[in-house]
Amino acid sequence: MSTAVTGTATTDRRRSFMAFTTTWASQIGITTAFVLLWLTFIVLAPDTFLSQRIYQSFAQTTPYFAIVALALTMVIIAGDIDLSFPSIMALGMVGFVSVWNVTGSVELGVVASLAVGALAGLFNGLIVTLVGIPSLVVTIGTQFLFRGLALVLVGGKSFALVQTRQSPTYDILVGRVLGIPMEFIWLVLAAVAVWVLLNRHRLGQNAYVIGDNRHAAQLMGVPIRRTRIVLFVLTGLAAAFAGLMNSLQVVNFYPSMGDGYLLPTLAAVFVGGTSVFGGRGSIWGTFLGAFMIGGITAGIVAVGLTDFYTKLIYGAVILISVSIHAVLQRRFEY
Partner 1 sequence: MSAGESRDAPRPSDSSREPASAAAAAPGGTRLELRHISKSFGGVHVLKDVSLRLVSREVVGLLGDNGAGKSTLIKIITGVYQPDEGEILFDGQPVDALDVQKARALGVETVFQERALAEQLPLWRNIFMGRPLSGRFGFLRTGEMRRITAGLMGESMGFTSAVLTPDSRVTGLSGGERQGVAIVRALHFEADIIILDEPTMGLSLKETEKLLHFVDGIRAAGRSAIFIDHNIFHVYSVVDRIVVLDRGRIAGEFPTSRYSLEELMGIMREVADTGAYTEADRYRIEMPSPAAPATEAGRPS
Q: Which of 220, 304, 308, 330 binds partner 1 (CB under 8 A)?
A: 220
Q: Which of 10, 47, 132, 215 binds partner 1 (CB under 8 A)?
A: 215
d(CA 93, CA 87): 10
d(CA 207, CA 138): 19
213 lines the binding site for partner 1 (CB under 8 A): yes
d(CA 7, CA 10): 8
Spell out the alpha helix ranges (H) of 127-167.
135-154
Which is nearest to 279 in space by CA: 83, 105, 8, 73?
A: 73
Least Cβ distance, residue 54 to partner 1 (angstroms): 37
By CB under 8 A, which span of 4-12, 42-50, 65-73, 92-100 interacts with partner 1? Answer: 4-12
d(CA 89, CA 64): 10
- Within 13 Å of residue 238, how many CA atoms lie on the same side as its CB? 30
Q: Is the dihedral of CA 148, 154, 155, 156 positive or negative?
A: negative
Name every residue whose Cβ is closer than 8 Å to that of residue 71 and which is 6 or more positions away in sequence.
Answer: 194, 231, 234, 235, 237, 238, 239
Q: Which of 3, 10, 166, 306 binds partner 1 (CB under 8 A)?
A: 3
By CB under 8 A, which span of 17-25, 30-38, 48-56, 119-127 interacts with partner 1? Answer: 17-25
By CB under 8 A, which span of 42-50, 66-74, 220-228, 288-296 interacts with partner 1? Answer: 220-228
Nearer to partner 1, 165 or 202 (CB): 202
d(CA 230, CA 225): 9
171 lines the binding site for partner 1 (CB under 8 A): no
Angle formed by the axes of helices 283-302 and 262-271, nearest 10°: 120
280 lines the binding site for partner 1 (CB under 8 A): yes
d(CA 92, CA 153): 12
Least Cβ distance, residue 218 to partner 1 (angstroms): 7
192 lines the binding site for partner 1 (CB under 8 A): no
Write the binding mask 109 to 128 for partner 1: x where contact by CB under 8 A, - elsewhere. Answer: --------------------
Nearer to partner 1, 186 or 208 (CB): 208
Give contact residues for partner 1 (rule: CB under 8 A).
1-5, 7, 12-13, 15-16, 18-19, 22-23, 196, 200-203, 205, 208-209, 212-213, 215-222, 279-280, 333-334
